[in-house]
Every structure is written in structure tokens, then in C-alpha cells.
Chains A and B, each alone.
Chain A
């Protein structure tokens, strides 16, 4: 088991280096970053700045420096805010994480009972309607869901604020939007993982013992279906954060996503790099934790 964990840890480190390489290349894909910082400057001034920023060094040297700085959370000054880019991103992280957590909680609250019910009562009208909802949900752009909710609840009925973040009422629409985007995903996973286990021998044994259907499902079936649910949730975490970026843009939520999108429009690359890097590292870490969790939850892996 420790060999497995060491392998995963090694992979984690390698992936982190890869993430740095991709983030590093964002800036260089744009051509000449100095031309963005001082578009009207003379070539002599540009050369001076290039020298000062270390942009005239060979690329491998620059990359090593980038990684060393990134490890310390130093991505340079934002071109526009004149503040350390990393701090600007970290300041906005709690908002994004709150939004994501609220959305996941909402999504699980709906998807868990519906997904289980669909699996248990397979091929009934309820199951088929759930499938229709999943199909519809997965075919809608998340930002459009947001605007439609806004149109109904904020513009038409004036129940909730159109945009913003901070008060409880302003958190409702963004969370429901991101939750609506996530729910079909969870519903599908939960239904199929439940279907995998529901007809297995040990579940039948539990039924044969005379346990109530409710106990059989919760204590025996769900516990074993939980593994794939956890794994897939980890794998889908990137999709979730991507959805958060779009949701934040629709509702003007001051989170990391909106910061990055704004920075991309202004070609403020230190913020883009810091933001993309931080989100990617969060995703990599979540996946690593899911792997570790998997080892602890799954006895067949533990034996190996």
C-alpha cells in the first residue's frame, strides 16, 4: 500500500511540474510580454525592461526561476493593479470556494435521493423523467441557466438581487445556477454506481436476512456505491471550477474566476498565471486526496 502511495505522490509531483510548464507557457504564447506592459515605449526602454524582468535569459533558466518563484507564491506584480498577483488571487479564493461548496451541497441534496430512487425504481416513469432532466441539464450552457434564473427571480418577480455577493440573498442565484449545472452530473454518477451494486449477491443476502429496503440501500448498497461517487466527483472537480468561473461572470461575483476573466481581457498575465496555477494545483491536490481516500476506503486496493 505504501508503494502505491509513493507512486501516487511521485505522480503528483510530476503533474505539478507539468502544470507549471503549461502555466509558464501561457505568457510566452502571447509573443512579447514587454510589448503588453509598455506598448508605446521605445525599443531601448523595452530592452531595459526585458533585461530587468529576466525575459532575455534562455527559456529553461526562466522556467526554473518561474517554478522557484511560484513555489513561494510569487507570480510578479499585476500589470494593472500594481499589487502582487498571487495575493489578489488568494484574496478572492474564499468566495469561489464558498460558491463551489454551496453548489455541491445543493447538487448532492437533490442528486443523492433522486439518483438512488432512479436506480432502485429503474425503468419507471420517475426514472425516465430523471433521465430527461439529466439530458436537458447537460445540454444547457451554465451561463445561460444563470441568466434565465436571473430573468425569472430577479427581473420578473424581484425576489432576489440581480448580481453581487455578500448578503445571503445574493448568494442564492449563483449557488443554484452552479448547483443546477452540477446536479445532472451527480445524478448520472449516483444512479449508475447504485445500479452496479444493487443486484450483487451481498445486497440480495441483506434483503434475504429480512432487513428493510431502506436499511439495505443505505447501509449496504450506498456504502459500496460511495467509492465511484467520490472518485468521479474528484475527477469532475475541474469542470466544477470551470462552471464557477462562468457563474461568477454572469452574477458579477468577486471570485477568482471573474478576476482571471477580467485579467485575460486586459492581458494582465501575472494574474492569469497565478490564478490558473492556483486552481490547477487545487484540482491536482483534490485528485491526489481522492486517490489516498480510495486506498483507505477500498479493501481490495489496500491488500495490493
Chain B
């Protein structure tokens, strides 16, 4: 846990350095919303990493004797089960803590898949232009024509639900935003004299990509991918809610809400509390992403 904070700070700082140095970073670090968001995220990430040690109980341990124990602040609640228990007596808090693992893992991994696909497509589209560009543009159009959640649902069901399938399918929805940004940047740079000069001198495309294209797009990519993590977490929750999650072996927030919906008349906490966990996490990521955008945007001062 002690490693997480400095690393994150370094990551932000590198980004900020690309877009106007430490001023952008300071603008971010001094913003109350950004601080609140980062703190919540820190708690969530530590809970996910340390879940087996932090969770008070085994999330899979059932006990029919204490089914539907209400949260501790309600009559009949017990401080041993702060968030109560579910229909088979499993500890809700422990399941929420463990659920953070799947949500964050899927969120971040899906965005990495999106980045790989989207940035590559953008570079290819921009550098090759012509027919290739048209084809990639059409693929994006087709892709955006589906309700993404349904498409993901259909493919996860067809391929068989598993963690990897979910990550890949969610990663394959939402990559087009990076393609757009990277392609636009390449288009602009292609016309620049210094790039032409560099190419005339025999500088390879890869070098141009890493020295000029990617650094210029880094700040928008960082902002977009932060916000996409939030969307991927919501999408994962929706998939598990609909019953095609990563399987029942491990608790997820969406699956907990889905079970809670069946017992909505007897146990309000079953659906409410995992939803609050999603809300807090996604809100924190959105806050950080939004403040990052403001801090990195050269137009706002």
C-alpha cells in the first residue's frame, strides 16, 4: 500500500510535465474534489489488494443460522457483521471488499485492451491513410451502432463467461476514442515540416511515433482512459447483474445487487450497499478524471 501513492504521484507528474510542467500538477493536487477522489480510490485499491486480510470473514462462508442479519446500526444487527448477511448467511462487508478486486481488475485491464487496440488503429489509420483509414472509420461506425452492453452480453454469453472474456469484450467496446485522438494527431504531424525533415533524414516511423505522436496525445489519453475505467466498472457490474459475469466463484458487486433484487422486500441492504460501493468507486474515478482534464487542459488557467 505504501507503494501505491508515490507511484500514482509519479504517473500524474510525468503526465503533467508533458502539458505545462508542475503547474498543472499543482492545480490538480490542490483541488479538493481531486483530493477526495484520490483518497476514496486509495481506500478502494488497498481494500482490493489486501482483501483476504482486511475482510472480517470468508466471503463464501455460509451459515443458515444467521441468514438476513441486518446491518449493525439496525435492531437485530451485530457488530461482527457490520453490513449484515445475505440469504445464505454470508458476510456482506467481506463480499463487498472482495468484490472490489473484480471491479478494479476488470476496469483497468479492459482499458489496457482498449488502449492497445485504439492507439494501434489510430496510428495505422493516420500514417497509412487512404483505404485503410476508410476501413477503420467504417469499423468504428459499425461498432458504435450497437447498444454496447447488448453486444458485450451476446459475445460473453456466446464465448462462455469468464474473467478473460469479460475483459477482452469490454476492452473491445470503447477503443474508438483513442483511435480518434491518435489519428488526428498523426494527421496534423504528417504535414509538419520537422516530421518530413526527420523522415527525409531516414528517421523511422516508430521513432516519430514515440518521440512526437504519443507525447502529444498523452494528456488526452490519460484523461480518457481514467474516465473509461469508470465506464468499464459500470459495464462489468451490468454484465454480472444480467447474469453473465465472471462466474459465481468470486463475489462481484453486480451479482450481489442482482441477488439483492430478489430479496428487495425482506433485506434492503443486500442491493443497496454493493451499489453504494460502485457509486463511490466510479464517482471517485470520475472526479479524478475530470480534475485531471481541467489541470491538463492548456485553455483553462
Chain A interfacial positions (CB closer than 8 Å to B): 11, 14-15, 18-19, 21-22, 26-27, 29-30, 135-136, 138-144, 147-148, 150-151, 155, 162, 235, 238-239, 241-242, 245-246, 249-250, 257, 260-261, 264-265, 267, 269, 272, 275-276, 279-280, 283-284, 287
Q: Is B234 close to A, CB under 8 A?
A: yes
| Subset of 21 A-B contacts with CB under 8 Å | A14-B141, A15-B141, A18-B139, A19-B142, A22-B151, A30-B158, A135-B283, A141-B238, A141-B254, A143-B241, A144-B271, A144-B275, A151-B264, A242-B147, A242-B148, A246-B149, A249-B241, A257-B150, A264-B153, A276-B150, A279-B147
* A269 vs B159: C-alpha distance when bound (angstroms): 13
Note all chain A residues with C-beta closer than 8 A to B147. Answer: 238-239, 241-242, 245, 276, 279-280, 283
CB atoms of B145 and A260 under 8 A apart: no
Any A CB within 8 A of the CB of B154: yes
- CB–CB B242/A141 < 8 A: no
Which A residues touch B145, using CB under 8 A? Answer: 15, 18-19, 238, 280, 283-284, 287
- Given known pairs A30-B158, A264-B153, the reply for A151 and B272 (CB within 8 Å) is yes
B243 within 8 A of A: yes
- Bound complex: CA of A272 vs CA of B159, how far in Å? 14
Instruction: Tell me the bound Cα distance from A265 to B241 in angstroms.
Output: 12
A238 touches B148 (CB 8 A): yes
Given A141-B234, A287-B145, A265 contacting B157 (CB threshold 8 A): yes
Residue-by-residue, is B216-258 near A (CB-CB < 8 Å gives 1, otherwise 0)?
0000000000000010001001100111100000000010010
The answer, yes or no, to whether B164 is at the interface (CB within 8 Å) is: no
| B73 CB within 8 Å of chain A | no
B275–A29 touching, CB < 8 Å = no
Q: Does the CB pair A22–B146 fall under 8 Å?
A: yes
Residues of chain B lying within 8 A (CB to CB) of residue A139: 230, 278-279, 282-283, 286
Give the contacting residue for B243; candidates A238, A246, A265; CB below 8 A: A265
Q: Are B242 and A261 in contact (CB under 8 A)?
A: yes
Across the interface, A147 reaches (CB within 8 A) one of B157, B159, B237, B260, namely: B260
Q: Are B154 and A272 in contact (CB under 8 A)?
A: yes
* Interface residue total, chain B, C-beta cutoff 8 A: 43
A139-B279, A144-B271, A238-B144 are contacts. A30–B242 as well, Cβ < 8 Å?
Answer: no
B261 within 8 Å of A (CB atoms):
yes
Other-chain contact of A246, B139, B230, B238 (Cβ < 8 Å): B238
- Contact A276:B149 (CB < 8 A) given known A139-B283, A141-B238, A144-B278: no
- Chain B, residues 262-284, CB within 8 Å of chain A (1/0): the string is 00110010011001001100110
A276–B142 Cα gap in the complex (Å)? Answer: 13
A138 to chain B, nearest CB (A): 6
CB distance from B72 to the nearest CB of A (A): 20
Closest-CB distance, A133 to chain B (whole angstroms)? 12
Note all chain A residues with C-beta closer than 8 A to B268.
Answer: 151, 155
> Do B272 and A148 have beta carbons less than 8 Å apart?
yes
- Chain A residues, CB < 8 A from B141: 11, 14-15, 18
Bound Cα distance A142, B241 (Å)? 11
List 4 other contacts, CB 8 Å, given A29-B155, A264-B157, A276-B147.
Answer: A14-B138, A29-B159, A147-B257, A150-B264
Contacts of A19 in B (CB 8 A): 142, 145-146
Report chain A residues within 8 Å CB of B151. Answer: 22, 276
- Identify B149's interface contact among A22, A135, A138, A245, CB under 8 A: A245
Q: Does B92 contact A (CB under 8 A)?
A: no
**B106 CB–A CB distance under 8 Å:** no
- Give the distance in Å from the alpha carbon of A238 to the alpha carbon of B142 in the complex: 12
* CB contact between A141 and one of B150, B154, B275 (< 8 Å): that residue: B275
A151 to B276, CA, bound (A): 14
Interface residues of B in 119-172 (CB under 8 A from A): 138-139, 141-142, 144-151, 153-155, 157-159
| A280, B147: Cα distance in complex, Å | 7
Give Cα A267–Cα B268 distance, bound, in whole angstroms.
Answer: 32
Check if B100 is an interface residue, CB within 8 A of chain A: no
Task: Tell me whether A264 and B234 are in contact in the complex, defined as CB-CB below 8 angstroms, given that A238-B147, A280-B146 are known contacts.
Answer: no
Q: Mark B8-27, 1 if CB is under 8 A from A, else 0.
A: 00000000000000000000
Q: Are B257 and A238 in contact, with the CB atoms below 8 A?
A: no
A143 touches B146 (CB 8 A): no
A135/B287 in contact, CB under 8 A: yes
